Structures are given as structure tokens and as C-alpha cells.
Amino acid sequence: MKRYISIYTALLLIGITWANAQTAHAQAGREKTTFQTSREWRPTIDNRADAVMVYGVGGNPSDRSRRVPFEERVKSWRDRGYTVHFMTGIAWGEYQDYFTGKWDGNWHMDEGQVTAKGDTIWHGRMVPYIVPSRNFLTYLKEKHVKRVIDAGVDAIFMEEPEFWMRGGYSEAFKREWQEYYGFPWRPQHESPENTYLSNKLKYYLYYRALEEVFTYAKEYGKSKGMNVRCYVPTHSLVNYSSWQIVSPEASLASMGCVDGYIAQVWTGTSREPVFYTGVEKERVFENAFLEYGSMESMTRPTGRKMFFLTDPIEDWSRDWADYKKNYEATFTAQLLYPMIADYEVMPWPERIYEGLYKTCATCTTKEKIPRFYSTQMQVMINALNNMPLSENRVTGAQGIGVLMSNSLMFQRFPEHEGYDDPQFSNFYGQTLPLLKRGIPVSLVHIENVGYPDTWKDLRVLVMSYSNMKPMDPEYHRHIAQWVKAGGALVYCGKDIDPYQSTMEWWNTNGNAYATPSVHLFEHLGLDNPQTGEYAVGKGKVYILREEPKNFVLQSNGDAAYFAAVRKAFEATAGKLETKNNFYLERGAYVIASVMDESVSAAPLVLKGLYIDLFDPALPVLQEKTVRPGEQAFLYDITKIADKSKPSVLCGASRIYEEKATKGAFSFVAKGPVETGNVTRVYLPSKPEKVTMNNVAGDYTWDAASHTCLLKFENNPDGVAVVIRF
């Protein structure tokens, strides 16, 4: 038992010094935008990001038509000027040669994840979700990682380390259990403790897998004179907890061989229905905001690189109008984090540009991406190439955080002793009542409380042990220290869920705390506190003996909770503002979102001189009205610094070779074929002549903004534009 606790504590606290973390971050690549594809270069998918992640030595399991060798795919993108990286799955992939015995002569189908009914959990044909045994990791290193590095690729993305909570019954998992815990496997459905232990093991297995594969990649790369960078594309802790998947998440941020992450957030994750005011429905913008926030918070103290992902469509077949609406919502949410400016602009451009999807929600007809949507999408992703970091913050009360932990993934499945948490409502009960009132609530990872940066500018911390547990007692010392120095802690929960007594540090090795919160309150000098307010050093503790899920499962169930948060905030930071919108400026870009179900149904009216980047016509507006449930993405023309110089402000292609001379301005625009380009160019005076490299096109002049709108067909080889004025 002592070994089991100390190993887990070591895994959670393993790290590198702050200086080393900053060095690793500084050495990370300069690629600002990227995308993933299993295909070779084609003119229809040439979106002109900085880098491309070529997927899989054998391709993508869902892409059965590809047969172009990996090295040829790499070369095809390099020949077009792309930096080439590699991506593959660590929990699934084109690894049939391993499972069927072609690699080592042994059948390995027993290493798939298996449910209580004995069913293998499949990702595709002969592609099970994997229990990552050491033998499988040897295969992955020798058969895939080595080949990729030999091809000259120096950045490896191992995506989606996923173990399904309903898994944990295979022979491979039973062997790992015996080795890790030192006692025989226990079926997870039989008790809360078994569930907790099972999910902790799943968590550890993918921590071990990534550590082993990435350490090998870096050492093998070094032997060839290469500095190999290693990244983890992963869903957010919010989504994995909601979808009942276990993954290492925050613990990887301190792993010395991990250089960064991709936050895999998109319509498919964010549209998961959640409860608020007793109503279960999709709340895509709000969910996306929380998902991106959990990813930003996870890596901020360790300085690792973070790419934010959005997807103009999603995995499930919908109609184009649905895709467009929800893409705008998730895209806006990611931009409201001005401390992140690196992006995966899309996954699978082959399905976006070439796939067939419904033309309306009730239609049976399917078509390729509409011209207006491909143009709008390209305006948006090209804006990401120029999106600046900013010290500005989204409008609203700053300094309110909600605590989360990797152990959120340990209590979701199956249900025990009649205690349920429908749609992850214990989490949303703490976050949505704040977000819906226009408060840009931050998420704080308990695994990061030892980093000073975690506490920077934090005024109020909300926490509950109703749906998570602290996996190290040291966390409580840091929380108590912050409260005593003047912080305000809001603790919600009755501590009645069946996981309170699971075998963990608070009730083993001489500890006999009934629940983990008793240990926390001991550090705060409180003995069994009930609902009320308590002074602790220079700070305050507010106790609500209510399960957080009830704040959203019931209509108006959050009144007492919000009153406590308001009181805590106003005791330390002044009046707490509520509103129905968020607004942020990043350089010349304006980002706004107005929420429904909020304190007001009033629209947000913005006045100025803007280009509407969500409109494929790129109109110039002097007023923009954003209604509840809508978002806006604008370019503020008044922010142009030097009005004597011409410049491309925005457009549906990437711009190269900009050159300004007296009375003339020229550039080259590149974009995928079969898409229409619009580009708005600032000019000191009205153009006299515009030429567009032997392609049909036209232009219009807007005198109020001094901008010229160009229209022509995109070409990946480039369209040379010359404007004389």
C-alpha cells in the first residue's frame, strides 16, 4: 500500500524546474498554425498553414482509400513549402500488424479495451482501443516513431491517450493491475473503490505510455543530431470527464519530455448537452469557453506550448448551416483567450473541402462545402496566422476560479449507491451560473497549486469534492496558505458521494480522515464547518452544504451559490459586475459573444468602422449588432497604425511577397482551388488600376474606409496582384 501511494504521488508531482520549463518552451517550434491530414498534398486541400501534421505511418483508420507511402506524403508537402510534422494515435491507429501477430508472431487482440460484457471497444475495423502494454509501446517505437524520425520529421504528435471508463476487463488490463497494485484485479462495477482504483490505473498507463514513447523519440532523435519535439493532442479534461474517458491530462504538463499540447475542442465536444436552470440542451459557446479554459489553465504554470483547435465541421454528419453556426461559436470562444496565439486551424481538410454533407437539416441531398462557407472559413483561418497575443482580458470580473482535478475522470462510470451526476452537472453547477452572468470564470487545476503562477490575480476559488478527490495531501497546504494570505474560498458540497471513503491517502498509512475535506478544513483551522462564513487568517471561507449539481438541475437553483460568490468577490475586489456578453480586443481584432439565458436579452451594439470577418462578403460596417446566442469577429479599421502605407487587412487566402512602392502595391495570394477569394486591402487613395495575374476578377472601392475589395478564384500556385493608385 505504501508503494502504491508513493508512486502515484511521485507521478503527480514529478516535474522540472521553472527555468527548465521555460527553456523547453523557448526551444519549441515557431509554427503558429498547423493542421492534420492523412493525405498527400493536393491543390484542393492546400490551406497554407505554417505546418502540416502528416497522419500515421499507415494513414488514418477511417481513410481506407489512401495507399500513398508515408515518405511520399511527407515529401509532397515539403515540396510545397510546408514544415512537416507527424501525428498518430497512441490509443488507436493503423496497428493491425501488431494485433494480428505480423510484427512479432504473437496474437495481441487481448490487449484491446474490453467492457464488463466482454465486448472489445473498437475505433474501427480491426482497430481496438488499446491497453498500452510495454510490448505495444516497443512496437510503436520501433515500427512507427523510428521510421518517422528517419524520414527527417522532428515534431511528433501522439494524440488522444484515451481509456474508456467502461473498459477495464481485458486480460491485458488484469495483468497491469496485478503489477501496479500488487494484488489481484477487481471488477470496477462492484464498488466505488474498485471504480476509483481502475480509473487511476488507466490514467497511469497512458502517462507511462507517453513518457516512454516520447523519451525514446527524443533520445533516438538526438542520436541522429535532431531535436525532436513531442506534443499531446488531447480533448479537454471537461470533455473527457463528461464523455467518461480517462486520460493523463494535467500530469503531462510537468513531464520533462512533453513540449506542449493541442487542445482538441470543436463542435463535436462542445455541443454535448448540459443542464442549466433545470433545462438540458446544447450550449456550444459556453461549453467551448470552459473547455479551452481548462486547457489554457493546465499548461500556463509550466510554460508549455498550446495550440487551440477548431473544426469547421465535425465527426457526425450534420448540415452545412449547423456546422457554420457552431464553428463561429467555438472559434469565438478560443479567441477569448488572448494568452494563446497558436492554432490547429482544422483537422482533415480532405473531408472539409471534399466531403459531402446535407444542404439543410431535413434534406437528404448532400453537397460539397458551399462557396460562401469555404470563403468565410478561409478568412477566419488566415486571420489566425496574424492573431496577436494580447495583455488585454475579456470583459467581466476577473479573478474567480473553479478548482478541477484529473480525478474528475475517476467517478463518472458506473453509478454507485444511487448517487448520480447527470451530464457532469457537479462541474457545470460551479461554472455555468458564473459564465451565464458574464463572468469569465477561470479553471484552476489542483495539480498546479504548487506553482506560484496558479495563484496570480486569483481572488475567489470555488471548489467541491463531490465529483473529484485530491490525490495528494500537499494540495491542501497550498490552498490553505493562499486563503490565510487573503484569498476567498467557496466550498460546495455535502461530501456524500460514495467515493469519499475510497482507499486513498486520507484514510490509509495512519490517516483516518472520514473525507478529504476534513483534512482541508483542518489546515484551515475549521472543525466540521456547516453552511456559513468563516474568517481564516486574512481570508475568508464560505461553506455551502449543497451538492453543486443542484445549482443547475433545478430552475433558479443557483441563487444561494451566486450570492456566496458575489459576497466573496466583493469582500476582496469591489463590485461584481454581471452582464450577458463578453468582449475582447486583440490588436485590430474585435471578438464578442452574447449569451442567452442570461441577465438580459439585450443585444450588444458595437459602433465604429469594422470589417465583418464572419461575412464572406467582408462588408465594411459602422455598426454591428450581436444578439443573444450570436458571436462577432471584426477587424477594426481605425486600428491601422500607418495610414500612409497600403496593406492587406484580411482575406480568404494567405498573402506573400507584399511590396509597396510609390503609387503601387503588389502581393501574391495563395489558397486552395475550387474556392473563391475575397481580400480587403487598405490603400492611401482610390486605386486607378488592378491586375490579377491572368485570372478573372473584379474590385470595388469603399471611400469611407479607404479599402479595396478584391474578388477572384484561389490558386495554390498563387495569384499575383498589382494595385496602382
The answer to whether 497 and 419 have CB atoms below 8 angstroms apart is yes
Q: Number of structural domains, the chain?
A: 4
High-pLDDT (> 70) share of the chain, %: 95
* 538 plus 659 within the same structural domain: no
CA angle 164, 169, 173 (to 5 degrees): 85
Same domain, 508 and 651: no
Q: How much is the average pLDDT of 581-602? A: 98
Q: For residues 193 and 302, state if they share a domain.
A: yes
Q: Examine residue 382 and state whether it is found in any structural domain, yes or no.
A: no
In a domain, 576, yes or no: no
Compute, in degrees rounded to 10, the torsion defined by CA atoms 619, 620, 626, 629: 30
**Cis, peptide link before residue 672, omega less than 30° from 0:** no
Is the domain of 477 the same as that of 364? Answer: no
CB atoms within 10 A of CB 253: 26
C-alpha closest to that of 552 among 165, 283, 296, 266: 283
User: What's residue 13's pLDDT?
Assistant: 39
Q: Average of pLDDT values for 553-575?
A: 96
Please indicate, yes or no, whether residues 611 and 560 belong to a single structural domain of this protein: no
> Across residues 198-217, what is the average pLDDT?
98
CB within 8 Å of 316: residues ≥ 6 apart: 268
391 located within any domain: no
pLDDT at 623: 98
The contacts of residue 76 (CB under 8 Å, 6+ apart) are 40, 41, 68
Residue-wise pLDDT for 51-91, tens only, equals 999 999 987 766 654 679 999 999 999 999 999 999 999 99
Q: What does the pLDDT read at residue 66?
A: 60
Q: Say how far apart CA 382 and CA 364 lie, in whole Å.
A: 32
- Look up residue 554 and give its amino acid: Q
The three cell numbers locating residue 303: 510554460
pLDDT of residue 410: 97
pLDDT in tens, 691-725: 999 788 999 999 999 999 999 999 999 999 999 99
Mean pLDDT of the chain: 94
pLDDT tens digits, 94-144: 999 999 999 999 999 999 999 999 999 999 888 899 999 999 999 999 999
Q: Are residues 630 and 585 in the same domain?
A: yes
- Asked if residue 534 belongs to a domain, the reply is yes
Each residue of 622-677: pLDDT tens digit? 999 999 999 999 999 999 999 999 999 999 999 999 999 999 999 999 999 999 99
* pLDDT beyond 70 at 337: yes
DSSP code of residue 641: S
Q: Is the pLDDT of residue 6 over 70?
A: no
Q: Give the model's confidence band at 250: pLDDT under 50 very low, under 70 low, under 90 confident, else very high.
A: confident
Give the residue carrying C-alpha cell 460514495. 498
Instruction: Classify residue 386: in a domain, yes or no.
Output: no
The pLDDT, as a whole number, for residue 25 is 35
Predicted local distance difference test score (pLDDT) of residue 63: 67
Last residue of a domain, one of 526, 549, 571: 571
Pair 72, 121 in one domain: yes
Q: Domain boundary at 610, 639, 668, which? A: 639
According to DSSP, the residues that pair with 634 across neighbouring strands are 590, 612
Helix (H, G, I), strand (E, B) or coil at 263: strand
Q: Are residues 350 and 423 in the same domain?
A: no
> Is the Cβ–Cβ distance between 533 and 526 less than 8 Å?
no
The domain in which residue 602 lies consists of: 581-639
User: What average pLDDT does this structure show over 22-30?
Assistant: 44
Element (H, E) at 367: strand 366-367
Q: Which of 133, 88, 126 is nearest to 109 (CA)?
A: 126
pLDDT at 124: 84
Three-state SS at 656: strand
Query: Is 429 domain-assigned?
Result: yes
Please give the pLDDT value at position 255.
87
Bridge partners for 280 per DSSP: 275
DSSP output for 448-501:
GTTSGGGGTT--EEEE-SSS---S-THHHHHHHHHHHTT-EEEEE----SGGGG
String of b and e for 49-79 (b: at least 16 CB within 10 Å)?
Answer: bbbbbbbbbbbbbebeebeeebbebbbbbbe
- Residues 467 and 604 grouped into a single domain: no
What digits encode the pLDDT tens for the residues 295-334? 999 988 888 999 999 999 999 999 999 999 999 999 999 9
Q: Do 354 and 502 sit in the same domain of this protein?
A: no
Query: Mind listing the pLDDT tens digit for each residue in 411-460?
Result: 999 999 999 999 999 999 999 999 999 999 999 999 999 999 999 999 99
Q: Determine contact, residues 141/216, Cβ cutoff 8 Å.
A: yes
Mean pLDDT calculated for residue range 45-49: 98
pLDDT value, residue 14: 38
Residue 617 has pLDDT above 50, yes or no: yes
What would the grid cell of residue 235 be? 480533448
Please check whether residues 194 and 339 belong to one and the same domain. Answer: yes
Residue 394 lies in a domain: no
Residue 339 has pLDDT above 80, yes or no: yes
Mean pLDDT within 521-528: 98
389-409: average pLDDT: 98
- Best CA proximity match to 347, nearest among 310, 319, 402, 395: 310
Q: Where a domain ends, among 616, 639, 662?
A: 639
In CATH, what number is assigned to the domain containing residue 118? Answer: 3.20.20.80
pLDDT in tens, 151-192: 999 999 999 999 999 999 999 999 999 999 999 999 999 999
Residue 541 sits in a domain whose CATH number is: 3.40.50
> Where does 491-597 have alpha helices with state H?
516-523, 550-553, 559-573
Contacts of 111 (CB under 8 A, 6+ apart): 99, 128, 130, 131, 133, 136, 170, 172
Say if residue 606 is in the same domain as residue 558.
no
Q: What is the CATH number of the domain that holds 630?
A: 2.60.40
DSSP character string of 107-134: --GGGB-B-TTS-B-EEETTEE-B---H
Give residue 612's pLDDT band: very low, low, confident or very high (50, 70, 90): very high
395 lies in some domain = no
Is 19 a residue whose pLDDT tops 60? no
